[in-house]
Amino acid sequence: MSCDDDVCITCSDQAVPMVVEQLDAASGLATCIDSDGARAEVDVTLVDAAVGATVLVHAGAAIA
């Protein structure tokens, strides 16, 4: 694997774009939804997230 592959070279997971539906700024967690309608609790402490924003999620954390 290389940095040009579409998956993480450490865990083989992909980053997924998700939209923030609910945000709990105190805990740093957000409920997000992907394009298929699947919801997930996401750690957003590494990014400036807002309801309605699209974040890139990898391994349960928003990275962009």
Per-residue pLDDT at 30 exceeds 70: yes
Query: Which pTM value belongs to this model?
Result: 0.80
Show the CA angle centred on residue 54, arms to residues 29 and 52, nearest 5°: 75
Per-residue pLDDT at 61 exceeds 90: yes
Show the CA angle centred on residue 6, arms to residues 62 and 39, nearest 5°: 40
Look at the alpha carbons of 30, 26, 49, 60 in this order and tell me if their dihedral is positive or negative: negative
The confidence band for 64, taking pLDDT boundaries of 50, 70 and 90, is: confident
Per-residue pLDDT at 8 exceeds 80: no
CB atoms within 10 A of CB 58: 16
